[in-house]
Amino acid sequence: MKIALAQLNFHIGNFEYNVNKIISNISSAKSLGAELIVFPELSICGYPPRDFLEFDDFISKCESAVSQIAQHCNGIAAIVGVPSKNNSTTGKPLYNSACFIENQKVKKFVHKGLLPNYDVFDEYRYFEPSNVFEIVMFKDECIALTICEDIWEEEVLDTESKSGRRLYKISPMEELMKQNPSIAINISASPFNYNQDKTRKKLLQRISVKNNLAFIYLNQVGGQTELVFDGGSLVVGNNGEIKNQLKFFEEDFLLIDSEKINNSPKSEIEKTSIELIYQALVLGIKDYFKKLNFSKAILGLSGGIDSALTLVLAVEALGKENVLAVLLPSKYSSDHSVSDSLKLVETLGCNHQIIPIENGVASVEDSLKEMFAGQQPGLAEENIQARMRAIILMAISNKFGYILLNTSNKSEAAVGYGTLYGDMCGGLSVIGDLFKTQVYELCNYINREKEIIPQHIITKAPSAELRPNQKDSDSLPDYEILDKILNLYIQEREGPQEIINMGFDATLVNRVFNLVNRSEYKRQQTPPILRVSKKAFGQGRRMQIVADYSV
List per-residue pLDDT tens for the chain, 551 residues long. 999 999 999 999 999 999 999 999 999 999 999 999 999 999 999 999 999 999 999 999 999 999 999 999 999 999 999 999 999 999 999 999 999 999 999 999 999 999 999 899 999 999 999 999 999 999 989 999 999 999 997 655 555 555 566 788 899 999 999 999 999 999 999 999 999 999 999 999 999 999 999 999 999 999 999 999 999 999 999 999 999 999 999 999 999 999 999 999 999 999 999 999 999 999 999 999 999 999 999 999 999 999 999 999 999 999 999 999 999 998 887 788 899 999 999 999 999 999 999 999 999 999 999 999 999 999 999 999 999 999 999 999 999 999 999 999 999 999 999 999 999 999 999 999 999 999 999 999 999 999 999 999 999 887 766 677 777 777 788 999 999 999 999 999 999 999 999 999 999 999 999 999 999 999 999 999 999 999 999 988 888 888 887 76
What is the spatial distance between Cα 301 and Cα 136, in angstroms, rounded to a whole number? 56
The catalytic residue positions are: 41, 112, 148
| Other Cβ atoms closer than 10 A to 103 | 11
Phi, psi of 246 (to 5 degrees): -80, 170
Cα pseudo-dihedral 152, 154, 159, 161, rounded to 10: 120
What is the model's pLDDT at position 472?
75
What is the spatial distance between Cα 292 and Cα 320, in angstroms, rounded to a whole number? 19
pTM recorded for the entire structure: 0.94
What is the model's pLDDT at position 19?
98
Strand extents, DSSP E, 41-170: 77-85, 94-102, 105-111, 136-138, 141-147
Q: Which residues contact 173 (CB under 8 A, 6 or more apart)?
A: 144, 146, 150, 151, 153, 184, 207, 211
What is the spatial distance between Cα 412 and Cα 165, in angstroms, rounded to a whole number? 35
What is the model's pLDDT at position 163?
58
What is the spatial distance between Cα 202 and Cα 185, in angstroms, rounded to a whole number? 16
Domain boundaries, the chain: 2-271, 278-474
Say if strands 252-257 and 2-7 run parallel, antiparallel, or are unpaired: antiparallel
What is the model's pLDDT at position 160?
54
What is the spatial distance between Cα 15 and Cα 205, in angstroms, rounded to a whole number? 35
What is the model's pLDDT at position 393?
98
Q: Would you tell me which CATH number, out of the four given (3.40.50.620, 1.20.1250.20, 3.40.1160.10, 3.40.50.300), belongs to the domain 278-474?
A: 3.40.50.620
What is the model's pLDDT at position 70?
98
What is the spatial distance between Cα 389 and Cα 374, in angstroms, rounded to a whole number? 26
Write down how long the chain is.
Answer: 551
Q: Which CATH class is domain 2-271?
A: alpha beta
What is the model's pLDDT at position 156?
56
Domain 2-271 identical in fold to domain 278-474: no
